[in-house]
Every structure is written in C-alpha cells, then in structure tokens.
Structure 1
C-alpha cells in the first residue's frame, strides 16, 4: 500500500503543523451551509462552524493520504462528502496518528467524528455514539513468493499471521485460532505490528506467512502490487462477519442522532450502494445503519 502514502512520522509532523497553522484542516469538501431537511437538527456548534471535522489516520483504501500530507481520497472521503451533502455542511478530514489520537482528539473537541471503521463496543458507547454501517470480514494477504501453501483460510492454522496490534483483525485471528482447535489443528501465531504497511512488509520479508487486514484493504494492496499476492477470506464459521464497524461521534456534542439520520438518507438515496459497489464492499455491507448496537445480540 505504498501509493499514494507517506510515513507515519511524516503524517504526524504534517498534522501538527496543520493544526498550528490552520486548525488541522485537510481533505475539505466545499459547499454552502443549510438548505437540507437535516440541517436544522444539527447541534448549534456545528451550524456555527459550518463544517463537520473528521479525524482520520492513513488507512487505504478508506483514507488514502497524498504526498502533500493533506489531500485525502478513498472510501472515507466519498462517504463524508455524501453525508455532508444531506446535512447541509462541509466536511473536512484532519490526519492523525492512529485510533488513540482520534479518540482523544474527539473528547478534547478538536474533532467531531471518526469513521474508523472501528469496532462498536459497549465500552466505547459510554463516551461515543457508534453508527454502524458495515461489518468486519478479515482477509489474509499471501505473498506469491512465500513458501507457505495457503489456498484457504483454514490453511492458516499453525502459520504466522501479521496484523495491526489491538485491531479487529487481532480479534478475528483469535477466533480463527479457536476454529483451528476445533479441527484438531494448531493455532496460528499472531504478530502484532503498528500498521498495515508493517504487516505487509512482514509477509513480504518472510517474517510472517500472511498479513491480516480488511478484505477491501487486501484488494487495494493487490491492485498496487500486481501479481505479488493472493488472499483468502475468513468464513462465518471461523468467526467472520460478527463484529460491527462504526463511525464514532462524541455523545457530548449531540451529533450522533442526526448523523444516524444522515446515514439513513444516503442509504435511501443510493449513495451508500454506489460507494459499496465502487470499492467492492458488498460482502461487508449492511441492509440499514444502526446506532449503539454493542448491547444488541
């Protein structure tokens, strides 16, 4: 996932510089405020600002950060454009260094939302409204040059799998290991790393047999390095499709319920389906958005 992208250190430096210079604005969407059915329901602070400020880390194909450290393209940008249009306000993305920075930034009122997509949990729902718009389906990128024979996700039992530490992929890898045990096979060994770039490098270098990530990220990596990889996808039987992924919005700001209505609108007007189809997210799409589902069986 090298193109286009910058290093984590560079992203952090550029983010700090942007915050000092202009409030951290990047990836903005132009448009006049007002003029939609949902605009009047927005919190006053949002209407006064005329913009919804999203935090976002570099995470292709959700957020593809240009070489300038500011220009953002990808799924997240298109989704936020669609939401901003029905809400009647601009949207902008500020690049931050990972989930902790996004969460703390929202709680400090620097940002209004973070689209992750991040797992909806009961613990997070104590401070954030979580609008679920997709589920998780983990895929494992396999270097064609590697020695591991992996034709299906079941072949990963006993193999070394790199993934982002603390991510939903780590949870799914644990479920896959549990499935391996039921089959009388050895558990996989999970190698926790800082980001997706690191997981791909680990697989390419032979440190790991596979790199775990979302299916859309695996497809993106394959497109950027043609003929370098294959991938396999975890099945429902192996624990996939269970985790609900959400956009997080601080409860204190009051934006969550209005954002849920905006999601419903882009489901109804076809924008959600357009984005799903464009980026190949059909297998992780949901029939309708929902909010704060962690307590829902």
Structure 2
C-alpha cells in the first residue's frame, strides 16, 4: 500500500469558511476498504494497482464534485462515481487533496496520483501526456449575489466584470471566448481573477474582490440549491462561445490503467449507475451517451 497521510477535517465549502484545501488523503468512501478480486475487471488492472490495493486520485474542494466534510470524508459526484467504478474494478479509490490543476497534472506524471477526475477539459495538449475519458459536458455559469440581480439580465452583462475562476479550468477557456464576443460587440472585456479552488472564488465574490464567479453548471446548481436566496446565475450562450466542452478523467499514459478504467465506465453506463449519479445531482443535461477516450486526438 502507498503511504497515507491523515486528512485534516475541513468545513464544507458551502459553509464558506475562510480556508482552502489542506493536504491530506483518505478514502472517498470509508466503506470501501476491501479489495474484491472477483470483481468483473479486477484481472485487467495493472500489477501496480493490485499491489497498492487502491487507486489514488488527486482532488480539491469543488462542490458538488467533491466536498470535504467535517469528519474528513469526501462527498459528492466524484465519490459516488468512484464507488460505482470500484465495484467493477475491485479496488477502492483514495482521494488525496491537492491545490491547483498544475500540481495535480505534475503529480500524476511523477507517479504520486493514478488519476484526476476534474472537472477538467480534454484538449490535444493534455492528451499528449494523459489519456482522457470523457464522461460529461459543461457550460459556464456566472454566479452573482442575489442582491445584484438587476445588474445581470443576461450573460452579456458579464462583459467588463471582474470574474473569479479556477486557474486552468474550463471556465477560463470559455471566458476567453466570451471576451472575444464582448469585444466584437463593442463592450469591455472581462478581468479574470485566477484562483486555486472553488472555495477561493466564492470568498472573492463575497469579499467584493470579484463581481461574479465563473464555474461549471453543476457547481452553480449545487450552490443555488444550498443557498437559494444568496446567489443568482446566468449561463454563457453558444453565440458567446460556450459550445459544449468535454470533461474527462485524466490518467497518465502507459500505466496500464486506462483500458480497465474505460471498461469500468462503460459498465456503469450499461448498468444504469452513471445515470443515477447524474440524476442525483440534477445534471442530466450534462450527461453523455457513452464514455469517449481521447476525443481531441482519437483517429
């Protein structure tokens, strides 16, 4: 087994405690403690994973994908999805917290992590070093304080605003497209405030450092469900360059984990567990029909 570090309990990000992700590790589901050698895809796993008895994935605080509860456990889309995948693969997942996309990508290349489930966009550049298994899509949402609702009749109002977002995220890419549209319309471009995690972006909004937060549609839905009177949001349109970006699980190339992981994704699509997870979090419209490997470079 790899060495483990005790998780430092944190309040969930929606409590808006003024702290960011702390280093740590722990099972995404404490009930997943035993290796199941009779699982459908266990025999396909590389020896390194069998010997470790776990799949270590990088993660940060990013509700509803991952929330660190006060007892140190993770809840959210990621843990639920990983539980379904673990039933196919026969080994549990362990999430180790990390700050920033760059740290997660370099950590995978150095062997510290076996993968990262984002949400992160599949691109040709990233697919040079990583295999990307696409399992959902997204459109960027822009959150604002409910008291400022009159200032945001639609997403064109984002032009000229200070936008807090996670550095390297799909939000940053879609914001570049929005800025191009704003300029074409004779409007001012936005100012992007790049931060390490979702918690930091919400804190920037609440402190007045940012006018809006750019985030995934799933995160916007989650935050509004938890605090319906605190925030509102507008969605970036196709005309403004939103498109439909593909979000993927990243795995370092050449480890032997990609093939069984892709098969595990296909299995949970086939048995309905994937659809249950997407429905549970109200993001059915972000679902895809089937997992896709390396969409930017395939073929």
Q: How high is the TM-score relative to the length of structure 2?
A: 0.87
Q: How many residues align?
A: 285
Q: Show the counterpart of 2:28.
A: 27
Q: Show the counterpart of 2:190.
A: 188
CA distance in structure 2 between the partners assigned to 1:5 and 1:38 by the alignment: 41
Report Cα offsets for 1:263-287 as digits up to 9, x if no partner.
1111111111111111122232211
CA distance in structure 1 between the partners assigned to 2:262 and 2:244 by the alignment: 21
Q: Show the counterpart of 1:231.
A: 233
| Residue of 255, 258, 268 corresponding to 2:257 | 255
Q: Show the counterpart of 1:129.
A: 131
Whether the 8 Å CA contact 2:127–2:297 is kept in 1: the answer is no
* Structure 2 SS opposite 1:169: helix
* Structure 1 SS opposite 2:40: coil
Give matches, 1:82-231, under 5 Å.
Answer: 82-146=84-148, 149-231=151-233
Structure 1 unaligned segments of length 5 or more: list them. 16-23
Tell me the CA shift for residue 228 of structure 1: 0.9
Report Cα offsets for 1:11-62 as digits up to 9, x if no partner.
12xx2xxxxxxxx443242344222332211112222333212221111111
* Structure 2 SS opposite 1:191: strand
* Structure 2 SS opposite 1:145: helix
* Structure 1 SS opposite 2:151: coil
Whether 1:242 and 2:244 are equivalent positions in the alignment is yes
CA distance in structure 2 between the partners assigned to 1:227 and 1:30 by the alignment: 40
Whether the 8 Å CA contact 2:160–2:188 is kept in 1: the answer is yes
Tell me the CA shift for residue 203 of structure 1: 2.4
Whether the 8 Å CA contact 1:162–1:202 is kept in 2: the answer is yes
* Structure 2 SS opposite 1:35: coil
Q: Show the counterpart of 1:294.
A: 296
Report the aligned-residue RMSD.
Answer: 2.2
CA distance in structure 2 between the partners assigned to 1:87 and 1:5 by the alignment: 36
Tell me the CA shift for residue 157 of structure 1: 2.0
With 243-252 and 176-185 compared, the bigger mean Cα shift is at 176-185
CA distance in structure 2 between the partners assigned to 1:281 and 1:147 by the alignment: 24
Whether 1:8 and 2:20 are equivalent positions in the alignment is yes
Tell me the CA shift for residue 291 of structure 1: 0.8
Cα distance 1:25–1:195, how it changes in 2: closer, same or farther (>3 A)?
Answer: closer
CA distance in structure 2 between the partners assigned to 1:55 and 1:5 by the alignment: 22
CA distance in structure 1 between the partners assigned to 2:17 and 2:226 by the alignment: 12
* Structure 2 SS opposite 1:238: coil
Tell me the CA shift for residue 215 of structure 1: 1.2
CA distance in structure 2 between the partners assigned to 1:138 and 1:47 by the alignment: 38
Report Cα offsets for 1:45-82 as digits up to 9, x if no partner.
222333212221111111101224x3111000000000
Whether the 8 Å CA contact 2:61–2:198 is kept in 1: the answer is no
Whether 1:54 and 2:66 are equivalent positions in the alignment is no
* Structure 2 SS opposite 1:286: strand
Whether the 8 Å CA contact 1:3–1:224 is kept in 2: the answer is no
CA distance in structure 2 between the partners assigned to 1:268 and 1:211 by the alignment: 36
Whether 1:37 and 2:34 are equivalent positions in the alignment is no
